[in-house]
């Protein structure tokens, strides 16, 4: 099995390949398409500390500064937020969001956790990333995202 990584192609053993590569790839391609068609392009980055904390995507531009972590899980644990917390400590002005395969939209501290499918369906070129619309639509029991 081969995986496109950066500017090259890396060989990945099938036994070591995880589904998260596919989910991260899906999110990457949606973000890239959103960015390419938006007119005010942002840069897309990966962030990692020397101690191994990481964030899958950092979207940085004139009107956007967002760290996105993707998890191929239907449930979220506090450990899943460690990279976003580390990023937030270093860059307090950045927004943070966690995308996962679950169905619940919820807040974990100051981090919105969204079903990945809803986030991707809400990406509209030229519009802000969906985290803003989701945060504005608060209801007493549940947070909603216009899709």
Sign of torsion over alpha carbons 45, 49, 54, 60: negative
In a domain, residue 102? The reply is: yes
In a domain, residue 108? The reply is: yes
- Per-residue pLDDT, averaged over 129-138, amounts to 55
Q: Is the pLDDT of residue 137 over 70?
A: no
Give, for 95, the enclosing helix (H) or strand (E): strand 95-100
Give the structural domain span for 105. Answer: 19-136
DSSP symbol at 130: T
Token duo for residue 76: 């979220």
- Per-residue pLDDT, averaged over 121-131, amounts to 86
In a domain, residue 9? The reply is: no
Predicted TM-score (pTM) of the model is 0.76
pLDDT of residue 21: 67
pLDDT of residue 57: 95
Edge-first strand order for the sheet with 43-48 is: 43-48, 54-60, 65-71, 95-100, 111-115, 106-108
In a domain, residue 10? The reply is: no
In a domain, residue 8? The reply is: no
**Domain total in the chain:** 1
Q: What is the pLDDT of residues 94-103, one digit of tens each?
A: 999 999 999 9
Q: What is the pLDDT of residues 3-38, one digit of tens each?
A: 334 333 333 334 334 445 688 999 999 999 999 998
Q: What is the pLDDT of residues 47-91, one digit of tens each?
A: 999 999 999 999 999 888 999 999 999 999 989 999 999 999 999
- Cα separation, 38 vs 71, whole angstroms: 26
pLDDT of residue 95: 94
Token duo for residue 135: 């945060």
105 C-beta neighbours (distance < 10 Å), count: 17
At 126, which CATH number?
A: 3.40.1350
In a domain, residue 142? The reply is: no
Give, for 117, the enclosing helix (H) or strand (E): helix 116-121
132-137: long-range contacts (C-beta < 8 A, 24 or more apart)? 132/95, 134/105
Q: How confident is the model at residue 129 (pLDDT cuts 50, 70, 90)?
A: confident
In a domain, residue 1? The reply is: no
Token duo for residue 81: 């937020």
């Amino acid at each position: 099995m081969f995986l496109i990584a950066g500017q090259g192609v890396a060989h990945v053993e099938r036994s070591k390949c995880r589904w998260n590569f596919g989910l991260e790839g899906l999110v990457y391609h949606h973000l890239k398409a959103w960015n390419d068609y938006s007119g005010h392009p942002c840069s897309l980055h990966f962030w990692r500390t020397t101690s191994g904390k990481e964030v899958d995507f950092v979207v940085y531009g004139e009107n956007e500064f967002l760290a996105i972590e993707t998890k191929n899980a239907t449930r979220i644990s506090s450990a899943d937020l460690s990279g976003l917390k580390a990023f937030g400590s270093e860059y307090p002005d950045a927004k943070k969001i966690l995308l996962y395969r679950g169905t619940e939209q919820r807040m974990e501290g100051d981090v919105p956790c969204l079903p990945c499918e809803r986030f991707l369906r809400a990406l509209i070129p030229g519009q802000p990333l969906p985290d803003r619309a989701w945060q504005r639509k608060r209801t007493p029991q549940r947070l909603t995202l216009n899709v």
